[in-house]
Structure 1
Amino acid sequence: MFDLRPVLDQLSVPGNFEISVPEYFNFGVDIIDSRAAEGDKTAYIWVDRSGCVVEHHSFSDLSQASNRFANVLHQIGACKGDCAVVIMPRIPAWYEVVIGCIKAGIVAMPGTNLLTAKDIEYRINKSNATVAVVSMEHVSKIETIKDRCPTLSHLILVGGEQAGWLSYEKACAEAGVQPDPGAVVHSRSDEIMMAYFTSGTTSLPKMVPRNHGYALGHVVTGKYWMDLKEDDVHWTLSDTGWAKAAWGMLFPQWLFGTAVVLYDGDAKFDADIHLRLIGQLGVTTFCAPPTVYRLFAQMDISGYDLSSLRHSLSAGEPLNPEAIRMWKDVTGTMVHDGYGQTETVNVVANVPGVEIRSGSMGKPVPGMDVQIVDDEGKICDDDDIGHIALRVGDVQPLGLFDGYYEDENSLNRDSFQHGWYYTGDTATRDADGYIWFVGRSDDIISSAGYRISPFEVEKCLIGTSRGGGVRGRF
């Protein structure tokens, strides 16, 4: 079993960034099961939609529940390397399914709860997925498209019963808490662990495979940007289908032994209940999209108990100075912006202890050679707009993906050029090394934390009866 402690000890030495990814690594076994053996420590705190039901789930609980699901996958005949689409709200089963998939070597593909039937069909057929694990609200979508998905052979329903579907609860109840022979695999760090789909401007969503070593790469995210401690309670606001969930609800936090808040909030954001829960649960580190901080800035939040907060974070777009000032006045914490992608871990951040310049994403984090370069890969002069790029050598930077899935050869050529990974974003760098975001190199639309492709918008408009009336109006 991989021992994480030497890695964390290395990171505690200033200027020391020598992390070797082991040949074999499995987050479910090497981290979750190891944490479970340390005692009855809380892995996550689940809060129901009303905010009234609060459940503390330990690493031991999660270890056993994920073993049960790994056994279920093995029993139904799912094999290492098979893909499983996973769509459900912020409920305990999401963690159990994702960690169970990781243990079993099944490639979990989280999807947001806003996916349509066509979106799901595309993802299943793109990946040749054999398994779908969804909550009740997504069953009708799968039923609509399953006959057009020839590889899809196992349907698992969380939180209900349906003809033709395996009940998640019943199947797990009948499975053992110890792994069956062959249910938990020995996974290489370079084997695919998960996959996400991210929007592109000229094509359908791109499939981004993430290998098992990617999970370990998030020590960078947790150490430098999030500043996580073992006694922290961390809360990131994210849908379970976003890569942000991997960043803020899963890998960095549990690498550091940090408890996570899992709140099954309503689709319509309720600022009051979120602010109350920070105090009630003793949240110490908090990450929200800029839209949430802007909403808080329009309220009088002085009456809420936010005294537990010691570190605040945001990402996605620059946050206006007034919202930052208001939050600091009330909580005493600055909002630390950070930058990364589905394809990376955190690579640029406002790191605690370093001066924050309002509007800047910060500086490259240790171990990441991030530069602003031109089309030919030449580093731009200070204050010139260029591409945000990550230097790629003989060894991939920690947490960087290996390339888009299978037939994305042209995208891979565009992304990996001149010894750099081109992120598709543009920025400037000032004389002191701070990076200032400018925009997408393409035309991706950013809305409340979602990245939306104009191609997808156009496709939807064309598919409507009134789409023709929109043409030419932009």
Structure 2
Amino acid sequence: MTEAHVRRLLEVYDDEHASAATLLCDRHPAEAVAFTVVEADLTGHDLTYGELRERSERFAGALLGLGVGPGDRVATLMGKSAELVVALLAIWRLGAVHVPLFTAFAPPAIALRVTGNGTKVVIADAGQRAKLTPSEDLPADPARRIVVVGDNDGGDGDLSFQDLLTDAAPLPGAAVTGGSGVLVELFTSGTTGTPKAVPIPLRALAGFQAYQDFALDVRADDVFWNAADPGWAYGLYYAIMTPMATGRRSLLLHAGFSAELTWAVLERFGVTNFAAAPTVYRALRNSAAPVPDGLRLRHCSSAGEPLTPDVLDWASSKLGVGVHDHYGQTELGMVVGNAWHPDLRSEVRPGSMGRVLPGFAVEVLREDADVVAEPGERGRVAVDLPASPLVWFRGYRDAPERTAARFSPDGR
């Protein structure tokens, strides 16, 4: 079952005629709900695929008018919102490339990601606009346009997201890039040196959906919420891109994090399938707010850092469901995990990140040689590329030496 499912996913997303906007939006029923956008006051409104198509076609026309074309970089400095999803689909309709900017970034981190790669447009929430003011950290670039979402007192030459959306002529259709076409240029976090630019092709969606199907076990009747930020891989891949790929509704919280608000959303919207970083679970555990009665959680998952046994114990006793730990990287997506799918579930060992997920082959190599380590021996996590059909990473942009350091000499 798993091998056949992996093959089907690759047939869809690694096809030479594949189109991101078609696969993520246009092929789904217009009346189907893509996201329920939840505000800080717990009001929510549904965003359908028909609405997303109509708005993103108009915003694609606006970006085209700003000179954006295939392969051009468009950055977003935005929180989770309907406008973010519209912007992403518009970028991909043009065959352009999305550059995510985490909203906690300071100007130097933003500069690293928008200079040197020809970024033509930065779309920013009004509250983030000040970070784009030219400075020693972020040199001015007259060729780079700034589009602001929300009320803005901002700089000369700023453009209004809403005005562009209202005034632009729609751009029907969607660019065909094929499976190798780049959708996103996401930079690594910098834990192993200066952040590196990772080009993410359309074919990566096969691996992303496999994770949702196998590890998260998101079903058609789930209320799914991945609380991770889309400025990073786990939030972008699995809170935005994969739900759209599968056409299944998920929640999008248009507000900052607090434990109290998280509890309220879980209760009010009847979340059954929840994913977040261990930090979120620890904040919930440490919150003075009581665990709401009547939670409907079926699955809880975690990624981004090690999940400690104390969180597991707390979740089992207070939430009525354990938290399953998963492991991945910006360059891979998720490749190892304690899968929820009934065909893959096994006993969860506290402190373990789980077993290899379908579509990947992962070994622990010795520290000093590219040979498999003995059981119990400390080593290095390595992916066997020929045996991993869902691997999509081929290298960092303009960094051959840093790319070579990620592969064994024989390329395996």
**Same fold? TM cut 0.5:** yes
Q: Which residue of structure 1 aligns with residue 389 of structure 2? A: 397
1:364-379 aligned within 5 A:
364-374=356-366, 375-379=368-372
8 A Cα contact 2:17 2:178, kept in partner: yes
1:154 aligned residue (145, 149, 164) = 145
Q: CA deviation at 1:359?
A: 1.0
Q: Which residue of structure 2 aligns with residue 169 of structure 1? A: 162
1:126-145 aligned within 5 A:
126-145=116-135
Of 199-208 and 78-87, more deviation after overlay is shown by 199-208
TM-score normalised according to structure 1 size: 0.79
8 A Cα contact 1:124 1:149, kept in partner: no
Find out whether 1:252 has 2:242 as its counterpart: yes
Distance, in Å, in 2 between the alignment partners of 1:257 and 1:54 is: 19
CA 1:23–1:316: 2 relative to 1, 3 Å:
same
Find out whether 1:91 has 2:84 as its counterpart: no
Distance, in Å, in 1 between the alignment partners of 2:143 and 2:124 is: 13
CA 1:391–1:123: 2 relative to 1, 3 Å:
same
Distance, in Å, in 2 between the alignment partners of 1:308 and 1:113 is: 31
2:330 aligned residue (335, 338, 342) = 342
Secondary structure of residue in 2 paired with 1:55 = strand
1:232-311 aligned within 5 A:
232-266=222-256, 269-299=257-287, 303-311=291-299
Q: Which residue of structure 2 aligns with residue 320 of structure 1? A: 308
Q: CA deviation at 1:287?
A: 0.9
Count of matched residue positions in the alignment of Structure 1 and Structure 2: 399
The CA RMSD over aligned residues, in Å, is: 2.3
Deviations 1:199-229 (Å, cap 9, x if unpaired)?
A: 3357431111111111232121111111111
Matched AA of 1:373: L
Deviations 1:320-344 (Å, cap 9, x if unpaired)?
A: 3232122122332211111111111
8 A Cα contact 1:306 1:331, kept in partner: no
Secondary structure of residue in 2 paired with 1:417 = coil
Distance, in Å, in 2 between the alignment partners of 1:143 and 1:298 is: 38
Secondary structure of residue in 1 paired with 2:203 = helix
Distance, in Å, in 1 between the alignment partners of 2:370 and 2:409 is: 5
Find out whether 1:359 has 2:379 as its counterpart: no
Structure 1 segments, 4+ long, off by >6 Å, are none
CA 1:315–1:52: 2 relative to 1, 3 Å:
closer
Distance, in Å, in 1 between the alignment partners of 2:191 and 2:20 is: 33
1:384 aligned residue (374, 377, 384) = 377
8 A Cα contact 1:221 1:247, kept in partner: no
Q: CA deviation at 1:418?
A: 4.2
Distance, in Å, in 2 between the alignment partners of 1:399 and 1:242 is: 19
Which has the bigger relative contact order, CA under 8 A and spacing at least 6?
2
Of 243-252 and 90-99, more deviation after overlay is shown by 243-252
Distance, in Å, in 1 between the alignment partners of 2:81 and 2:254 is: 6
Secondary structure of residue in 2 paired with 1:346 = strand
Deviations 1:212-269 (Å, cap 9, x if unpaired)?
A: 1112321211111111112222111222311121233122222332212111223xx4
Q: Which residue of structure 1 aligns with residue 43 of structure 2? A: 53
Q: CA deviation at 1:396?
A: 6.7
Matched AA of 2:21: G
8 A Cα contact 2:259 2:287, kept in partner: no
Secondary structure of residue in 1 paired with 2:27 = helix
Gaps of 5+ in 1: 1-12, 422-474
Distance, in Å, in 1 between the alignment partners of 2:192 and 2:384 is: 25
CA 1:289–1:415: 2 relative to 1, 3 Å:
same
Q: Which residue of structure 2 aligns with residue 216 of structure 1? A: 206
Q: CA deviation at 1:134?
A: 0.9
Secondary structure of residue in 2 paired with 1:382 = coil
Gaps of 5+ in 2: none
Identity of aligned residues (%): 26
Find out whether 1:124 has 2:124 as its counterpart: no
CA 1:184–1:27: 2 relative to 1, 3 Å:
closer
Secondary structure of residue in 2 paired with 1:275 = helix
2:15 aligned residue (13, 22, 26) = 22
Distance, in Å, in 1 between the alignment partners of 2:59 and 2:293 is: 39
CA 1:278–1:232: 2 relative to 1, 3 Å:
same
8 A Cα contact 1:81 1:105, kept in partner: yes
Q: Which residue of structure 2 aligns with residue 33 of structure 1? A: 26
Deviations 1:279-322 (Å, cap 9, x if unpaired)?
A: 21121110121122223233576650353211100012332323
